Structure 1
Amino acid sequence: MDDLELLVNGMNYSGWTSIGVTRAIDAATTAFTATLTERWEGNEGAAAQVEPWPILPGDACEVRLASFRMVVGYVDIFKPSYSASDHTINIQGRDKVADLVDCSAVHTPDEWKNVNLLKFAQILAAPFGVSVIADIDVGEPFAVCKLQQGETAFKAIERYARQRKALLMPDGAGGLLITRAGVRRASASLVQGENILNASGTLDHSQRFSNYLVKGQASYSPDSTGETEAHIEGAVTDSGIKRYRPMLLVAETGGTSSSLHARATWEANTRIGKAAAASISVQGWRQSPGGPLWEPGLLVYVRSSWLRMDGWMLIRQVTYERGEGGTTSKLEIVSPQAFDPEPPDGKEAKKGKSGKTGKRNIWAEAIGEEEPPK
């Protein structure tokens, strides 16, 4: 049976009563929690564990799920408790990228010219011993990358990642991966009455707006004028919102009209996509017996009449759990529009509002289009 392995300072600990590992495409770190009793029964005649285990916050750790490496990082929290009848401990931790999320970017110099996203991320991550790789084209170099006082290293990298419509997530080996979502499809579908244990959905338009305008200031250039430097902007619309609901944003970085348009696109798509979300639980951690794990970033076809859903969705987050309720995966899914690099009203095929059966598809209406299965 697939299991969790926790190695702390090189020692493999077992005997877990409940475990959970959470990965997401829009979270920089993978987090885990595990609970066990320190006096657990020995295996194959071995003596039961009776001595306190030497696990403390700050210890180096590695978490493997079904033999797949998930976390290379540190123990954050150690919580022992006991009563007259038992003695339990709870351990929580994250991968090494957590230091980029928690710690300020303190660097001299604090400004770089003609550096691309990957190089900028590598510079900020290096003092923390965190590697950075990319599985996408990170685009043209930025004219200037500059730190803001007090911001974390991750926030600084994220500001520039938005300009390139890129995502930042753990690579499973203690490093940071620059990527995009939805380039891979799950080998199995999620089907009501077959592999869906339970599900719930939410359609929420409260954070969607009719148009998005991003204003900024261009970086200095000998060929530019004060007028062209001070007044640049990018805008996109969301035709799914009929009322007048504008949003004005100030760009986090300098740039060009095209980069500000990309920033407006990112804001609109994120809000559109997350307006249509669902939580679906399935048995086990794998898509099929002996198959690959469910993973964030996968496109998965969902067919559920009770959710009124029949189409491709994107797995944003996966929580792998084992406890009294058995071994399950909880999949948080959103519309693929949430991480689409194209403007929300920039595609031609946007009129289909019904599923394959011709019935009303409220999820397609939520995002303004429906992508047919292939």
Structure 2
Amino acid sequence: MDDLELLVNGRRYGGWTSIGVTRAVDASSGAFTVSLTERWESGVGAAAQVEPWPILPGDKCEVRLAGVPMIVGYVDIFRPSFSATDHTINIQGRDRTSDLIDCSAVHTPDEWKNIDLLAFAKILAKPFGVNVSAEVDVGKPFPVCKLQQGETAFEAIERHARQRKVLLMPDGAGGLLITRAGNRRAAVGLVQGENILTASGSIDHSQRFSSYLVKGQASYSAESDGEGEAHIEGAVKDSGVTRYRPMLSIAEAGGSAADALERATWEANSRIGKSATATIDVQGWRQMPGGPLWEPGLLVSVRSPWLRMDGVMIIRQVTYERGDSGTTCKLEIVSPQAFAPEPPGKKKGDKASGGADPSVWNEAVK
């Protein structure tokens, strides 16, 4: 049976009775929580001798699922407890990239010119010992990247990543990966009555808007009168929201009108795609016996009459669990449009994949 290994300062700890490991395609740090509960083996009133584990917050750790590295980072929390009948140890931690999320971006200089996203991210991540790589094109250089006082290193990187319509996620080895979702497809589909244990869904339009307007300013250019740089904007509409609900955003970085339009498109698509979500539980951590693990970012065909879903979705987040209910995976899925670069409505009228009519999920994201 697949198991979880926790290595702390090079020492392996196993035998966990409760396991939870979470990774998401749009979260730059994975997280884990593991617990070990044992009954006292000695008689009533005489506690068994248990050697305290030498684990403390801040210790380096590595989490492996079925031998596959998932998290390389640090222990955040160590909770020992005991009663007259048992003792429990709970350990929680996150990827090394968590320091980018928690800590301020303190750097001199605090402004760079003509620098691309990968180079910018490497500069901010280097003091934390975090490697940054990219498996997709990071786009053209930014004319100017300037830190905002008080923002974290991740906030600085992420606001520029949104401008280039890319995602930031841990690479499983303690580093940060610049990527896009939907580059790979799951080996099997999720089918009601076959491999879906439980499922629930939600269609929520509360965070969708009728129009998205992004405004910004470009760097000064001696070749213009300054009017163009001061009034840059791009706008897109969501035809699925019929009442007046505008959203105005300020571009995170300077650029052109085309950049503002791309940023507005990304904001609209993200909100449209994430307005229709489902959570599906499956048995085990693998897509099939002996096959690959379920992973965030995979495209997956979903067929569930009770969810009224029949089409291709994308796995946004995976939580690997083991407890009283056995070994399971909790998959949070959304529409691929949540991470799509095309303007909203471009595919309007498409049928749901594998079905004769659009499902409520397809209608929800148009």
Q: Report the counterpart of residue 303 of structure 1 in structure 2.
A: 303
Deviations 1:47-84 (A, max 9, x none): x9820100000000000001000011000000111000
Is the partner of 1:263 in helix, strand or coil? helix
Q: 1:112 to 1:355 in 2, by over 3 A?
A: closer
Is the partner of 2:206 in helix, strand or coil? coil
Q: Report the counterpart of residue 199 of structure 1 in structure 2.
A: 199
Q: 1:356 to 1:300 in 2, by over 3 A?
A: closer
Deviations 1:340-370 (A, max 9, x none): 011113x2x42135664434510110112xx
What letter matches 1:281 in structure 2? D
Q: CA deviation at 1:258?
A: 1.1
What letter matches 2:68 in structure 1? F
Matched ranges for 1:286-297 at <5 A: 286-297=286-297
Q: Report the counterpart of residue 263 of structure 1 in structure 2.
A: 263
Deviations 1:112-147 (A, max 9, x none): 001100000000000000000000010111110000
Deviations 1:142-181 (A, max 9, x none): 1100000000000000010011000000000000000000
Q: Report the counterpart of residue 208 of structure 2 in structure 1.
A: 208
Q: Report the counterpart of residue 44 of structure 2 in structure 1.
A: none
How many residues align? The count is: 360
Tell whether 2:142 aligns with 1:146.
Answer: no
Is the partner of 2:148 in helix, strand or coil? coil
Tell whether 2:119 aligns with 1:119.
Answer: yes
Q: Report the counterpart of residue 82 of structure 1 in structure 2.
A: 82
Is the partner of 2:181 in helix, strand or coil? coil
Q: Report the counterpart of residue 45 of structure 1 in structure 2.
A: none
What letter matches 1:308 in structure 2? R
CA contact 1:213–1:233 (8 Å) conserved in 2: yes
Q: 1:157 to 1:125 in 2, by over 3 A?
A: same
Q: Report the counterpart of residue 99 of structure 1 in structure 2.
A: 99
Q: Report the counterpart of residue 360 of structure 2 in structure 1.
A: 362
Give the TM-score taking structure 1 as reference length.
Answer: 0.94
What letter matches 1:367 in structure 2? V
Q: Report the counterpart of residue 232 of structure 2 in structure 1.
A: 232
What letter matches 2:236 in structure 1? V
What letter matches 2:186 in structure 1? A
Q: Report the counterpart of residue 317 of structure 1 in structure 2.
A: 317
* Separation in structure 2 between the aligned mates of residue 224 and residue 86 of structure 1, nearest angstrom: 75
What letter matches 1:188 in structure 2? V
Task: Please say which of residues 81-90 and 244-253 is displaced more in the overlay.
Answer: 244-253
Q: What stretches of structure 2 of length at least 5 have no aligned partner? A: 42-47
CA contact 1:39–1:49 (8 Å) conserved in 2: no
Q: CA deviation at 1:37?
A: 3.1
Task: Please say which of residues 217-226 and 187-196 is displaced more in the overlay.
Answer: 217-226
Matched ranges for 1:16-165 at <5 A: 16-37=16-37, 50-165=50-165
* Separation in structure 1 between the aligned mates of residue 116 and residue 275 of structure 2, nearest angstrom: 32
Q: Report the counterpart of residue 172 of structure 2 in structure 1.
A: 172
Task: Please say which of residues 244-253 and 93-102 is displaced more in the overlay.
Answer: 244-253
CA RMSD of aligned residues (A): 1.5
Is the partner of 2:17 in helix, strand or coil? strand
* Separation in structure 2 between the aligned mates of residue 53 and residue 361 of structure 1, nearest angstrom: 52
* Separation in structure 1 between the aligned mates of residue 217 and residue 357 of structure 2, nearest angstrom: 48
* Separation in structure 1 between the aligned mates of residue 182 and residue 167 of structure 2, nearest angstrom: 11
CA contact 1:216–1:255 (8 Å) conserved in 2: yes
Deviations 1:90-114 (A, max 9, x none): 0000010000000000000000001
Is the partner of 2:118 in helix, strand or coil? helix
Q: 1:160 to 1:49 in 2, by over 3 A?
A: farther
Q: Report the counterpart of residue 348 of structure 2 in structure 1.
A: 350
Tell whether 2:221 aligns with 1:221.
Answer: yes
What letter matches 2:214 in structure 1? V
CA contact 1:38–1:52 (8 Å) conserved in 2: no
CA contact 1:38–1:50 (8 Å) conserved in 2: no
* Separation in structure 2 between the aligned mates of residue 40 and residue 291 of structure 1, nearest angstrom: 38
Is the partner of 1:16 in helix, strand or coil? coil
Tell whether 2:185 aligns with 1:185.
Answer: yes
CA contact 1:301–1:310 (8 Å) conserved in 2: yes
Is the partner of 1:241 in helix, strand or coil? coil
Of all paired residues, the percent bearing the same amino acid is 75
What letter matches 2:238 in structure 1? D
CA contact 2:39–2:85 (8 Å) conserved in 1: no
What letter matches 2:170 in structure 1? P
* Separation in structure 2 between the aligned mates of residue 354 and residue 23 of structure 1, nearest angstrom: 28
Q: CA deviation at 1:243?
A: 1.5
What letter matches 1:276 in structure 2? A
* Separation in structure 2 between the aligned mates of residue 221 and residue 136 of structure 1, nearest angstrom: 30
Q: Report the counterpart of residue 371 of structure 1 in structure 2.
A: none
Q: CA deviation at 1:86?
A: 0.7
Task: Please say which of residues 125-134 and 206-215 is displaced more in the overlay.
Answer: 206-215
